[in-house]
Structures are given as C-alpha cells and as structure tokens.
Amino acid sequence: MLNIKDSLKSIPKPVRLFLGKALLFFVVWKLLYGFYFSHTKTLDYPLTKHVGEASTYLLNNFSPMSGFTVERNVGTFYIGDELVEGGISSQIFHNGYLVLHIADNCNGLELMILFIGFIICMPSSLKRKLLYIVLGILIIDFVNILRCMGLIYLREYYHAYFDFAHHYLFKAVVYTCTFLIWMYFSRKISFKNENLQIG
C-alpha cells in the first residue's frame, strides 16, 4: 500500500491533477450515458440522423454521384457480428439499394466526448476551452461525415477495400485528426499555475 502511495507521489502534481480530472470526467459521463442518454437517445438520435442526412446531401450535391436517400431504421439489425435489438440507425440508399448503415455507435459521439474531456481537463482559460470544444466538435463531425461518404464510395466502386477502410483506415484518419487538434490545443499550455485540488 505504501509503495502505491509513494509511486503516486512520484508522479508530477500537474499530471496527477490531469489524470484525476480525466478519471472523474470519464466516470461521470459513463454514469450519465448508462442511466439516461442511452435510454432516452437525446444525444444519439439527432446526431445519427444528422450524419446520415449530411452524408446524403453532400453526396447528392457535391459529388459526381447522385440518387442517394436516407431513412431512419428502428428495429433489429447487425453491427458486424453483434445483434442490436430495438436499435435506431440511419440507412443510406443509392437508387433504392442499401449502401451504408449508420448505427448510433458510428455517429462520433464517443469521440466527441473523449475530445471534450481532454480539453476540459487541461489547464487553460475558459474562453480558449470553449473555442476549441466548438471547433473540435465541428471538425470531428465533418471528418466523420467524410468517412461515411468515403465508405459509400468504396462500397460502390472499390468494394474489396470497404472492410479494411471501415475497420482500420478511416478510423485511423478520424483519430489522427482528433489527436492533431489536441496537439494544437496543447502547444500553448503551461502547467506552472495549475493549482486545482482534487478530493
């Protein structure tokens, strides 16, 4: 027990403060989502709907492809090998054929919350945090929409690459984009005046 305390004390105070705030943020978010948001869909429903509609709009109006429609699906469906019962999703059709299924866990919400948590836990002015949260959410959302459009393009023209892009390539792109925003935010941060106490 003493070794654990000594090990914790050996960690620089600003790092301990960041990790403590990050842990608290994570626990609070998981409790809120588990007990409220996952049941009410007050965050997932509009975000999943928005991603589907925005992807369809951009494909029809700003790409060489057209004939896309989006529908809201409520019921039982598969996400990979996982069966989701009573789920809600956006389904994008191309000339009447289903080309992409956007479930709630693909709407970018978890990544946005992760991004927000990092910004909140880092020492900076409230104005700067709010600016980066708003800009970061907009960028993450736009990159996620581009990811959906890219997946549709691959399914239509390069189907052999769809699974690799879906599971690895486009996820790496979205996470790299988020990481770069964090890095840009962190470049002017100083831990010298971080005096907040935890507990």
Q: What pLDDT does residue 99 have? A: 92
In a domain, 129, yes or no: yes
Number of domains in the chain: 1
Q: Is residue 160 in a domain? A: yes
Residue 124 lies in a domain: yes
Once rounded to an integer, what is the mean pLDDT over residues 16-35?
91
Domain that holds residue 138: 12-186
Q: Would residue 192 count as lying in a domain? A: no
191 falls within a domain: no
**Quick check: is 71 in a domain?**
yes
**DSSP one-letter string for 100-163:** EEEEGGGSSHHHHHHHHHHHHHS---HHHHHHHHHHHHHHHHHHHHHHHHHHHHHHHH-GGGHH
* Per-residue pLDDT tens over the stretch 70-100: 998 876 655 555 555 656 789 999 999 999 9
Q: What is the pLDDT of residues 155-196, one digit of tens each?
A: 999 999 999 999 999 999 999 999 999 999 988 776 554 444
pLDDT grade for 140, boundaries at 50, 70 and 90: very high
User: Stretch 110-136: mean pLDDT, rounded?
Assistant: 94
Cβ atoms 104, 44 nearer than 8 A: yes
Domain assignment of residue 194, yes or no: no
- The three-state secondary structure class of 166 is helix
- pLDDT, position 35: 92
Q: What is the pTM of this model?
A: 0.84
Least confident of 11-15, 25-29, 127-131: 11-15
* pLDDT in the model for residue 19: 85
Cα dihedral: 137, 36, 77, 70 (round 10) = -40
pLDDT tens string 7-18: 666 777 777 888
Q: Which pLDDT score, from 0 to 100, does residue 67 have?
A: 95
Domain assignment present for 193: no
